[in-house]
Structure 1
Amino acid sequence: MTLGIALAATNVENYVDAIVAKARTAHDLGLKSAWFGQRMDYDSPALAAIVGREVPGLQVGTSAIPVVGRHPVNVAAQAQTAQAATHGRYHLGLAVGSTLIADAFGTPFDRPIARLREFLTATLQLLETGTADFHGELLTVTPTLPTAVPGAQPRPPVLVAAMGPQALAVSGELADGILPYLAGPKTLTTHIVPAITRASATKPRVVAFVPAVVTADIEAVRAHALDQLSFYEQVPSYSRVINLEGASRAADLALIGDEETVAAGIHRYFEAGATEVVITSTDLSSPEDERRTWELVGQLAADRVGA
């Protein structure tokens, strides 16, 4: 799995039906994986399970479930259900979260790295052994019934949307890899890949999420990207990696242009140490441009397999 897309939909009558239809089209165009963000409306692991069930052969993933406001027993149950539904094609993504997420649950956003460590430790116990006996400072995980789901093998990979030094250290020690977003090639090369590699006992997965659109209407799409991606500029973790790249706006990290331009941009992420690239925000332009983007990514995926 080297190239995939993040799927989302707007202005639809039925969100699940719309995403399944988009996933089928993407798969037909040669894409091998589809990823779904965890928002405050749909449930990402459930959506991934449905898509993976409806589109056999497509790898599906969550990017990413914030650990604040959630418990490992619930998240492990969701992940195993998705893994069984897809016959081993689900990838669990976790995130530290933010004050925005914590406020929605009415919980404090305190000691985020300690919480991430405890959450990963307990979740991996649940996924690997079918139970846990974990007593941390922030979490207690002692299920009174077995937690293993028949058919949820192998254990789903666990990845973390980690980009800061402390989160990278914990993720390298405990997780299978990371899911950086808006971290450009320079930031990957100089900050993120060296940190996660030092912290990992084995070669970690580095799944870079990159906004990209193939289009002839570059200025209009860039203006839309400036508006749609500006939210991330207010989040400290994203603001940090945008600045590290030498950019001032999140949209500066978007690959926008013709096929040659976007392909060259994607190639730079692999050169920077990404093991996989997931293209996001392909709906910033028209449906025709979105399909054009997917066609390019599908062809690039086929080329990498054949190389």
Structure 2
Amino acid sequence: MDIGVLLPTGTAQWAAADDPRELVAFGRHAERSGFSSLFVNDSLLSPRIEALTMLAALAPVTGTATLGTAALLPFLRRPVQAAQSLASIDLLSGGRLTVAVGAGFPGRFGRPLYTLSELPWERRFARLDETVALWRALWDGADAFHGDILRFDGIPPMTRPARPGGPPVWLGGATPAALARTGRLYDGWLPYPPDPDDYASGLHDVRRAAADAGRAAEDITPALFVSVRIDEDVESGRRALDGYARATYGMPLPELEQIQAVVTGSADQVLERLGRYVAAGVRHLVVRLGALDLRSQRDQLDRVADLIPAVGRATDQPSAEEGS
């Protein structure tokens, strides 16, 4: 069982006096506290430290934790240059990079960003899949790539990642098409469904698509992106998370938890709810801490770290998918 944390790289998670350079120490403390992965988000919706810049800063000062994106939006970057940047981070980290990707969402969470990137909203999923295929080709030393959307010839020698074939690439999303594409093409699945039962059924569909493509279930890491706050009880945790949801997304908590996994309450209550996701098949948790300044983030980090051994023990029981 891997348990990682999303670093608070967005200004919505900082107090006025917070120094963003503290994020490097935050990542090092998380690694020392038992978190096996450090993830960063990627967006132009609010001011934040750029995702790959943050991972590059963490690479030389951490030693064991996976460094990941949750999720990278490849359409914000030139695809060939992004392959070079990702390979460089993988090298600097000694092969510890994992790249979760997404295509963006309708409304203000996606379409305006395509306009800023001077790319069409249409065929965005095909563009995403081709971008990942291009990265993998370049990481293997290809000097040309001919897809339906992306076509390049005469590509000069690129930086090669630490690992043959490059870092694993996961897909975010839980639509039927995303589940099928995950099973066929990707190395991991990173959704955030509010209901653990939906996670279990989605993982079943991912593995069925993998089997149809001649892949083994073990080829795909079942991960979960989940917002967590440990508080005195559920009510106090929900009050704090409501402020977090409004500051981060501009929406109240009841709206956010309709679309994203959100867990709060006492330590025991949080452990029980996370255990339901583990029983549904999750084997890599990426925890986003529900706090609005770096000091409170550090406090929540330490509280979640105390649960790591117990969450790990939950994997001793077969998952719903494994037991079916």
Fold-level match, TM-score > 0.5?
A: yes
**CA 223–49 in structure 1, closer or farther in 2 if over 3 Å, else same:** same
2:309 to 270, 292, 299: 299
- Which amino acid in the other structure matches residue 61 of structure 1? G
- Kept in 2, the 8 Å contact 1:27–1:58? The answer is yes
Shift of 1:202: 2.0
Shift of 1:43: 2.5
1:55 to 48, 59, 62: 62
1:183-228 deviation per Cα after TM superposition (whole angstroms, max 9, x unaligned) = 43111112x2122112221221111011111111643431342343
Counterpart secondary structure, 1:256: strand
Counterpart secondary structure, 1:266: helix
CA-based RMSD of the aligned residues comes to 2.8
Aligned residue runs from structure 1 range 114-153, under 5 A = 114-127=126-139, 129-149=140-160, 151=162, 153=164
1:290 to 300, 306, 312: 300
Match of 1:208 in 2: 224
Counterpart secondary structure, 2:67: strand
Shift of 1:130: 1.9
- Kept in 1, the 8 Å contact 2:244–2:290? The answer is no
2:34 to 30, 36, 45: 30
Match of 1:251 in 2: 257
**CA 132–159 in structure 1, closer or farther in 2 if over 3 Å, else same:** farther
Shift of 1:108: 2.3
Is 1:261 the counterpart of 2:273 in the alignment? Answer: no
Aligned residue runs from structure 1 range 141-290, under 5 A = 141-149=152-160, 151=162, 153=164, 155-190=166-201, 192-200=202-210, 201-203=215-217, 204-216=220-232, 218-229=234-245, 249-251=255-257, 253-283=261-291, 286-287=296-297, 289-290=299-300
**CA 269–57 in structure 1, closer or farther in 2 if over 3 Å, else same:** same
Q: Distance in 2 between matches of 1:279 and 1:266?
A: 10
Structure 1 runs not aligned, ≥5 long: 235-246
- Kept in 1, the 8 Å contact 2:223–2:286? The answer is yes
- Kept in 1, the 8 Å contact 2:42–2:51? The answer is yes
1:55-86 deviation per Cα after TM superposition (whole angstroms, max 9, x unaligned) = 21121101111132433312211111111111
- Kept in 1, the 8 Å contact 2:275–2:314? The answer is no
Q: Distance in 2 between matches of 1:248 and 1:304?
A: 28
Match of 2:107 in 1: none
Q: Distance in 2 between matches of 1:229 and 1:269?
A: 22
**CA 298–51 in structure 1, closer or farther in 2 if over 3 Å, else same:** farther
- Kept in 2, the 8 Å contact 1:88–1:153? The answer is no
Is 1:85 the counterpart of 2:92 in the alignment? Answer: yes
**CA 24–306 in structure 1, closer or farther in 2 if over 3 Å, else same:** farther
1:111 to 123, 126, 130: 123
Q: Distance in 2 between matches of 1:305 and 1:270?
A: 7
Q: Distance in 2 between matches of 1:43 and 1:178?
A: 23
Q: Distance in 1 between matches of 2:180 and 2:32?
A: 38
1:67 to 46, 62, 74: 74
Structure 2 runs not aligned, ≥5 long: 105-109, 318-324
Q: Distance in 1 between matches of 2:35 and 2:146?
A: 42
- Kept in 2, the 8 Å contact 1:125–1:131? The answer is yes
Q: Distance in 2 between matches of 1:195 and 1:126?
A: 30
Taking structure 1 as the reference length, the TM-score comes to 0.84
Alignment: residue pair count: 292
- Kept in 2, the 8 Å contact 1:29–1:294? The answer is no
- Kept in 1, the 8 Å contact 2:221–2:284? The answer is yes
Q: Distance in 1 between matches of 2:77 and 2:195?
A: 30
Match of 2:111 in 1: 99
Q: Distance in 1 between matches of 2:51 and 2:129?
A: 22
- Which amino acid in the other structure matches residue 286 of structure 2? V
Q: Distance in 2 between matches of 1:210 and 1:26?
A: 17
Q: Comparing 274-283 with 294-303, which one deviates more in the overlay?
A: 294-303
Identity %: 23
